[in-house]
Amino acid sequence: MPLLDNLIAILTQRDPFPPLVPEKVWDKSLIAKIDTLSAAPLIKAGLHLLNDDIHNCHIIAQEHENPDGNYWHAILHRREPDYWNSKYWYKRVNDHPVIQEMQKEEPGWNPFSFVDKCEKLNTTQVRLIQLQEMTLLLNYTIEKYVKNY
């Protein structure tokens, strides 16, 4: 899937990397490319969120009340910023494999304390951890929803 691979590369290697709380969509020209992509909706949700497009991510995430959709929903609310609502959605994620992976890569990490950290600190390190979490969730979503990827 060349277009998917291209979008992933653009969005995960962008400079500057995603802010904690975006003020606007990073690249409006990518919205249509993401929307027309032949991919599962939650993959599109992740791509939209990496493009700082909270609105389009939200439309998709709220239609998929499962641990994966709830995870995207939690991150988008953290980025709005709507911290209380983010924690509500993290509670609905349960013990997601990406949370386990984040805890391996960032010892002591948990989504609830990370929401608090995002509310208080806007540092390069926190932004990199957020990008790491979104990238891990996108990769997980792709592996789960795309056959033979």
Q: In this structure, what token pair is assigned to residue 18? A: 């995603």
What secondary structure does DSSP assign to 66-80, as a single string? Answer: SHHHHHHHHHHHHHT
Confirm if 133 and 18 have CB atoms less than 8 A apart.
no
pLDDT tens digit at each of 149 positions of the chain:
689 999 999 999 999 999 999 999 999 999 999 999 999 999 999 999 999 999 999 999 999 999 999 999 999 999 999 999 999 999 999 899 999 999 999 999 999 999 999 999 999 999 999 999 999 999 999 999 987 55
pTM: 0.95
Name the region of 122 (left: φ>0; alpha: ψ -120 to 50; beta: rest).
beta
Q: Which of 31, 36, 32 is nearest to 50 (CA)?
A: 31
Q: Which of 49, 13, 15, 48 is nearest to 32 (CA)?
A: 48
